[in-house]
Amino acid sequence: MKRPSRRKYNNMLIIFVLLFIGVLQAPQLIKTYLLEPEQQVETVTGVQPLFEGANAIQKMHFADYDLASDTSKTDSQLIKRWFTLEGTVLNEESVKVLKTKLPAPSTVEVWLENQEEPQRVTIYQAPNFWMMQNWQSEWIAVSAEEGYLFK
């Protein structure tokens, strides 16, 4: 029996490499051309809450003072305001630009019910709004007076 020539080996090698690439690409090709596309879920990009609605706030630690929900009426009202706080979601480009123009951030530690570790909220104060990072790590803009959120 005659052995195949070098040229036939090269042709066979090229064909096997192409078949191998085709096998590797088959799942993607099937997804793209043969299967129906999945329904895309619309995401809400308008107003987002600062905290997740399931657990209530027990206490908050600011740089200068602490608040607890069971100490006084004014403290519990302030905590309730923080818990119901909502803001407009900012895109990444806006956040980058604003961070360079705003003063240094402050951090508020918030202890929620049924959680061992506090949630830390980073806050930048702008002249007309507060920029805060919510529980989903999204930056939101909140318009409120300083007396509404802080002592």
Please tell me the predicted confidence (pLDDT) of residue 37.
67
- How confident is the model at residue 44, as a pLDDT? 47
pLDDT of residue 17: 96
Candidates 2.60.40, 1.20.120, 1.10.10, 2.170.270; correct CATH number of 45-148? 2.60.40
Query: What is the arithmetic mean of pLDDT over 24-36?
Result: 85
Question: What band does 42 get if pLDDT is binned at 50, 70 and 90?
Answer: very low
User: How many helices and strands (H and E) does the chain possess?
Assistant: 4, 8
Q: What is the pLDDT of residue 39?
A: 55
Is 57 exposed, middle or buried, given 0-12, 13-18 or 19+ CB atoms closer than 10 A?
buried
Residue 135 is classified by DSSP as T
User: What does the domain layout of the chain look like in residue ranges?
Assistant: 45-148
pTM, two decimals, is: 0.64
Residue 61 in contact with residue 118, Cβ under 8 Å?
yes
Q: What is the mean pLDDT of the chain?
A: 85
Residue ranges of alpha helices (H) inside 1-151 are: 6-29, 73-83, 92-101, 146-149
Looking at residue 58, its pLDDT comes to 86
- The token pair that represents 103 in the structure block: 């003063």
Task: Give the separation between CA 75 and CA 90, rounded to whole angstroms.
Answer: 29
